[in-house]
Amino acid sequence: MTSPDRSAPAIDPDLVISHKFSEISFCYTERDAALYALGVGACAGDAVDEKELNYVYHRNGQKSIQVLPTLPSFLLQKALDLKKYDPRLLLHGQQYIEIYRPLPSSGSIVNKVAIAGLHDKGKAAIIELETTSYLKESGEALCMNRSTIYLRGSGGFSSSSHPYSYKTYPDNQILHVSAPKHQPTVVYEDTIQQSQALLYRLSGDYNPLHADPMIAQAAGVIYQTKVKERNRAVLSGYVC
């Protein structure tokens, strides 16, 4: 098994934070919204679940399907083109979403993207991209996505004693939660299909790490499928 080349080009922080993105316009349909819902597991455990069926089907005469509030993460995929990066070195980290109004089941969208953060982590760099999505016809803001992109091999562009860190948002905007040390009071288990990632990627996340086992192994991402009781498939893995 070969290892990916981690000697990525050094980052120039001034060039990164001054970069201007072009606006990106696109349309999405009810089919896109329904496909996204299926991709994240709607009706996976029960195809006739009364609540989840509303996200993929017009039940009881409803004029449009309901839209999952996490759909903006799908809108983000439409705003970014990360094909020039080696997919073996790229990981999607934290996702922060602000939703300003109920999401329509279809619409024409304009995405405006800006650099929200850049951080030197030594062997890796973290770039934060802020994407605000607007309805094209009215100009009304729908939502804002802030996505953390973890680029292995792109760090080390500043002093290790004073690593470079830049962001445009306040520290108190994100709630930091400490995990309790006691045992959980409630445990919830759900079922996913073994092909779930292959279905989800059809909404726009085409990183081959999620689909190609050879690329995943070369990147040091090892996935294993284990079968538990009642034939439930559990996906486990780790990143080297």
For the chain, what percent of residues have pLDDT higher than 90? 32
Reported as a single tens digit per residue, the pLDDT across 152-183 is: 888 999 998 999 999 999 887 766 777 788 88
- DSSP string covering 54-102: GGTS-GGG-SS----TTTHHHHHHHH---TTS-GGGEEEEEEEEEE-SP
Reported as a single tens digit per residue, the pLDDT across 122-141 is: 989 999 999 899 999 999 99
Q: Are 9 and 90 in contact, with CB atoms under 8 Å apart?
A: no
Query: What residue segments make up the domains of the chain, in order of their start?
Result: 13-166+195-206, 207-240
If you search the block for the tokens 């306040």, which residue do you land on? Answer: 170
Question: What is the C-alpha to C-alpha distance for residues 34 and 54, in angstroms, rounded to an integer?
Answer: 9
What average pLDDT score do residues 108-118 get?
Answer: 92
Look at domain 13-166+195-206 and name its CATH class: alpha beta
Reported as a single tens digit per residue, the pLDDT across 99-111 is: 999 889 999 989 8
